[in-house]
Amino acid sequence: MNQQLLFIFVFFDKKQKHLQLLLLFILPFICNAQVKVFYNARIFTADLNHPYAEAIAINGKKIIAVGRNAEVKKVAGSAAEQIDCNGKFLMPGFIDSHNHGINGGRGLTKANTSDQLFKVNELVAYAKSMLQKKEGLTGDVLVIYGINISTWAQLDELILQFNKDEFTTQPVVLRGSDGHTSWTNNAMMKRAKLDKPFIQSLPPEDKIYYGTTQEGEPNGFVSEKGFRTISSKLVVETDFSIAAEKTMEYNNGLGITAFLDPTVSTLNNTRIDYMDWYRYLIKKGKLTAHIAGCVVPDLEADPQQQINSLKALQKKYNAENFSIIGFKIFGDGVIEHPTHTAALSIPYTGTSSKGVLMFDPKKMKRFAIAADKENLLVHVHAIGDRAVTETLNVFEAVRKANGNNKIPHSITHLQIVLPSDFERFGKLNVLASCQLLWAFGDVTTIDIVQPYIDPSLYKWQYPARSMLQAGATICGASDWSVSSANPFEAIYRAETRLGPLGVLDSTQCMPRLEMLYAYTINAAKAMLAEKKIGSLVQGKSADIIMLDRDILTISPEAMKETRVLWTMFEGKKVYEVLQ
Contact residues toward Zn ion (CB under 5 A) are: 479
Output 334 or 574, the one with its CB closest to Zn ion.
334
> How far apart, in Å, are the Cα atoms of 45 and each of 37, 57, 214, 224, 521?
15, 13, 58, 41, 10
Q: Is the peptide bond before 231 cis (omega within 30 degrees of 0)?
A: no
- Residue 413 CB, shortest distance to Zn ion, in Å, is 8
At its nearest, how many Å lie between Zn ion and the CB of residue 390?
19
Q: Measure the CA dihedral 548/435/224/333, to 10°.
A: 180
- 479 versus 543: smaller Cβ distance to Zn ion: 479
- Phi/psi region, residue 471 (left: phi>0; alpha: psi -120 to 50; beta: rest), is left
What is the rounded distance in angstroms from the CA atom of residue 99 to the CA atom of residue 407?
A: 20
| Residue closer to Zn ion (CB basis): 45 or 339 | 339
Helix, strand, coil: what percent of the chain each, to 5? 40, 20, 40
Helices (H), 454-568: 455-458, 464-469, 487-496, 512-517, 523-526, 556-560
* Closer CB to Zn ion, 445 or 483, in the complex: 483
Nearest CB to Zn ion, comparing residues 380 and 468:
380
* CA-closest candidate to residue 97, choices 273, 326, 262, 320: 262
- C-alpha 100/C-alpha 82 separation (Å) is 37
Q: Quickly list H helices, 208-302.
A: 228-231, 240-253, 275-284
Give me the least distance between CB of 133 and Zn ion, in Å please.
Answer: 30
Give the integer Cα–Cα distance in Å for 206 and 216: 14
Sequence-distant (6+) residues with CB within 8 A of 170 are 131, 142, 185, 187
Q: Are 214 and 204 in contact (CB under 8 A)?
A: no
Residue among 147 and 172 whose Cβ is closer to Zn ion: 147
Residue 383 Cβ vs Zn ion, minimum distance, rounded to whole Å: 11
Distance of closest approach, residue 96 Cβ to Zn ion, in angstroms: 11
Cβ-based nearer residue to Zn ion, 390 or 479: 479
Nearer to Zn ion, 270 or 538 (CB): 270
Cis ω before 262 (30° cut-off from 0): no
Min separation Cβ 263 and Zn ion, Å: 7
HEC states along 437-485? HHCCCCCCCCCCCHHHCCHHHHCCECCHHHHHHCCCCEEECCCCCCCCC
- Nearest-approach distance from CB 480 to Zn ion, in angstroms: 9
Are 221 and 181 in contact, with CB atoms under 8 Å apart? yes
Least distance (Å) between residue 178 CB and Zn ion: 9
CB nearest Zn ion: which residue? 479
Closest CB to Zn ion among residues 163, 270? 270
Query: From the CB of 428, what's the least distance to Zn ion, in Å?
Result: 22
